[in-house]
């Protein structure tokens, strides 16, 4: 696994990739300087540091001897980086992503899931990334907008441990239902989906194949009620019924379970599921766990180079999306190796600071004992605010 000399943080980080920076592929026949593997390593470092443009990547490599030694490059131009991302075969970053996802599955195999009754979840959802209208004409979704989508399957191995294990990149006009065929497959997990995936035939097929799923229904979805189960009068569960999807009853249709509940803000939800051995409260909790995928999308968009794409060509964007997930999995792997309370976001910030320092320095910083503040004792008065400057004006509020 250690493909480069383990010394600096950046070297150790890249040594976790299941490939070698010096490997050559069939696509490198005419490449004398920037090979496919070097491009992968460079763009992973760019993701790690959130370098948003080719010129920024070029400047960092030219300024850092450690990167030059690591990539075996004295310098590189932005145009070469652009061509390398465009010609990078997407099958390679997809394969690297799948290898890292398999390692994450083995690493989290002993975790107990969301709870003792719910176990592990696979949350399926999509997130859009906007493109400039003129440059992303191939991804047009309306007269004024262009976008691409990242259709993701996120494994929730515990309440605070999640990782992606499948992704389908598409243009923005590809519906969620179309990608469900690739993301929802027979397994021992429970799939959680939002309203965009409601397809009556797919639901029946999943139920026939023994696939456990929980999906939110649109308000206009039709159901034929076969049997009502009693619910508590004052509870959040409003309804627990046996239904068939659609307005007409047929003997050959699969029977599903419909649950209606309200959340803490009084919002009403309708869920359909193929699960019969859990309580209605557990089914509601499964759907509430879907929020984990929203948090994952938020952190990769805010802390990795996801929103600002390097290129506006389809293959280059697909490559960048896979490289985003590769970097996220690598950060999570480092987090697991330290057994630290740092979140991936917090650890990534520290790694950027120590990027060219020895790995031991990062270890000492991450594992450094920290004093927990006891806070103010009960009943303690707040100290008066003192303005320590002669510049500006401070007017206390009357409220």
In a domain, 236, yes or no: yes
The pair of three-digit structure tokens given for residue 303, joined into one six-digit string = 């802390």
| pLDDT value of residue 4 | 43
Q: Which two structure tokens, joined as six digits, stand for 28?
A: 């490198």
Are both 277 and 322 inside the same structural domain?
A: no
My answer on whether 201 and 281 are in the same domain is: yes
Q: What is the DSSP letter of 140?
A: B
Same domain, 280 and 334: no
Pairing of strands 190-193, 212-216: parallel
Express each pLDDT in 273-317 by its tens digit. Answer: 999 999 999 999 999 999 999 999 999 999 998 888 888 899 999
Same domain? For 257 and 337 the reply is: no
Q: Which residues pair with 99 in a beta bridge?
A: none
Q: How many domains does the chain have?
A: 2
Residues 266 and 210 in one domain: yes
> CB-based burial of residue 156 (10 Å sphere; 0-12 exposed, 13-18 middle, 19+ buried)?
buried
Same domain, 345 and 276: no
Eight-state DSSP code of residue 107: H
335 part of a folded domain? yes
Measured distance CA(258)–CA(242) in Å, rounded:
6
For residues 201 and 257, membership in a common domain is answered with: yes
The rounded distance, in Å, linking the Cα atoms of 261 and 300 is: 31
Which two structure tokens, joined as six digits, stand for 302? 């805010």
Q: What is the pLDDT of residue 5?
A: 45
- What is the pairing mode between strands 268-273 and 121-131? unpaired
Give SS3 for 223: strand
Query: In Å, how far are 35, 48, 60, 266, 379 from 44, measured between CA atoms?
Result: 14, 6, 14, 44, 51
316, 252: one domain: no
Short-list 84, 122, 87, 91, CA closest to 104 = 122
12: alpha, beta or left, given left = phi > 0 and alpha = psi -120 to 50?
Answer: alpha
Q: Could you say which residues of the chain have pLDDT below 50?
A: 1-5
Tell me which residue range forms the domain holding 237: 195-288
Distance of alpha carbon 383 from alpha carbon 223, whole angstroms: 61
Q: Domain boundary at 254, 288, 322, which? A: 288
Cα–Cα nearest to 230, from 221, 239, 222: 239
Round to whole Å and give the CA distance between 269 and 263: 8
The encoded tokens of residue 3 equal: 């493909």
CA 7 to the chain's CA centroid: 29
Q: What's the half-sphere exposure (Cβ side, CA atoms, 13 Å) at 308?
A: 12
Instruction: Spell out the residues 6+ positions from residue 306 whose beta carbon is closer than 8 angstroms to its own.
Output: 129, 300, 320, 321, 324
pLDDT at 41: 96
Same domain, 264 and 201: yes
- Per the CB < 8 A criterion, the answer to whether 176 and 235 are in contact is no
Q: Length of the chain, please?
A: 399
Looking at the fold, whether 35 and 73 belong to one and the same domain comes out as yes
Same domain, 283 and 209: yes
Q: Determine the pLDDT at residue 374.
A: 67
Domain boundary among 288, 323, 344: 288
pLDDT at position 372, please? 65
Residue 183 belongs to a domain = no
Q: Are residues 264 and 199 in the same domain?
A: yes
């Amino acid at each position: 696994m250690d493909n480069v000399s383990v010394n600096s943080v950046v070297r150790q980080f890249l040594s976790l990739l299941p490939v070698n920076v010096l490997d050559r592929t069939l696509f490198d026949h005419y490449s004398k300087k920037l090979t496919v593997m070097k491009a992968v390593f460079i763009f992973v470092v760019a993701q790690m540091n959130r370098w948003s443009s080719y010129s920024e990547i070029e400047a960092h490599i030219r300024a850092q001897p450690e990167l030059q030694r690591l990539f075996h490059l004295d310098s590189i131009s932005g145009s070469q980086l652009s061509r390398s991302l465009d010609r990078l075969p997407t099958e390679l970053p997809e394969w690297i992503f799948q290898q890292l996802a398999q390692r994450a599955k083995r690493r989290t195999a002993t975790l107990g899931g969301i709870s003792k009754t719910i176990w592990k979840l696979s949350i399926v959802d999509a997130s859009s990334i906007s493109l400039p209208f003129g440059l992303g004409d191939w991804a047009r979704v309306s007269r004024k907008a262009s976008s691409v989508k990242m259709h993701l399957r996120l494994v929730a191995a515990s309440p605070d441990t999640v990782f992606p294990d499948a992704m389908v990149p598409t243009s923005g006009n590809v519906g969620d239902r179309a990608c469900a065929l690739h993301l929802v497959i027979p397994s021992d997990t429970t799939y959680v989906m939002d309203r965009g995936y409601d397809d009556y035939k797919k639901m029946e097929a999943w139920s026939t194949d023994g696939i456990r799923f929980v999906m939110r229904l649109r308000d206009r979805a039709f159901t034929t009620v076969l049997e009502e189960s009693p619910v508590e009068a004052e509870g959040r569960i409003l309804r627990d019924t046996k239904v068939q999807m659609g307005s007409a009853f047929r003997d050959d249709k699969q029977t599903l379970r419909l649950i209606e509940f309200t959340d803490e803000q009084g919002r009403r939800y309708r869920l359909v599921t193929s699960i019969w051995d859990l309580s209605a409260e557990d089914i509601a909790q499964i759907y509430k766990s879907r929020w984990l995928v929203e948090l994952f999308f938020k952190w990769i968009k805010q802390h990795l180079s996801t929103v600002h794409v390097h290129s506006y060509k389809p293959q280059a964007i697909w490559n960048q999306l896979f490289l985003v997930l590769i970097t996220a999995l690598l950060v999570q792997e480092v987090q697991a190796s330290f057994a630290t309370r740092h979140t991936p976001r917090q650890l990534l910030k520290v790694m950027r600071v120590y990027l060219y320092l020895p790995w031991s320095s990062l270890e000492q910083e991450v594992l450094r004992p920290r004093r927990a503040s006891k806070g103010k004792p009960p009943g303690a008065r707040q100290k008066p605010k003192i303005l320590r400057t002669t510049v500006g004006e401070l007017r206390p509020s009357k409220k």
